[in-house]
């Protein structure tokens, strides 16, 4: 007798991205990412956070100006997932599940590493120049993008 999985691969991997996002200390936007190979094996996870070794008590999580802006310090979830791959694992042909559509800087790394598909949960900055540039680069590089439309698991801690 064949058993049917309770959740789809998309649900599972977006759930992993959502779970990873819970590690973020960002008070406004918690983002998580999960990179998966063509055999449905998780290659890496990441979340938005400060660089390793930087004391987070000395860096800002504010949306402020000058040195009081988190945007100067935070490593995005996709970038961390790419950097967190073990033993230089190849990412060519992998799929990236991410809770927020990637910015233009993360998009460059996604393309350079050969990730073939980006599955995102939301695109709340769709009308910004940076996100428009991301979408253009992904299209030109032949990276497939699609919004996740499945069930979103509730994570309560």
Give the active site residues.
78
d(CA 121, CA 136): 19
From 156, 154, 153, 157, select the one nearest 13 (Cα to Cα).
153
Q: Are 96 and 112 in contact (CB under 8 A)?
A: no
- The H or E element spanning position 83 is helix 77-83
């Amino acid at each position: 007798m064949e058993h049917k999985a309770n959740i789809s691969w998309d649900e599972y991997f977006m759930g992993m991205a959502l779970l990873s996002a819970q590690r973020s200390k960002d008070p406004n936007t918690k983002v998580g990412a999960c990179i998966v190979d063509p055999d449905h094996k998780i290659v890496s996870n990441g979340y938005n956070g400060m660089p390793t070794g930087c004391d987070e008590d000395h860096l800002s999580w504010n949306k402020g100006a000058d040195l009081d802006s988190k945007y100067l310090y935070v490593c995005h979830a996709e970038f961390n997932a790419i950097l967190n791959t073990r033993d230089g694992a190849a990412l060519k042909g992998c799929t990236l599940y991410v809770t927020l559509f990637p910015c233009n800087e993360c998009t460059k790394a996604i393309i350079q590493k050969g990730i073939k598909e980006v599955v995102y949960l939301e695109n709340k900055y769709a009308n910004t120049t940076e996100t428009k540039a991301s979408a253009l680069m992904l299209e030109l590089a032949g990276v497939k993008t699609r919004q996740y439309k499945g069930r979103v698991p509730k994570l309560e801690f």
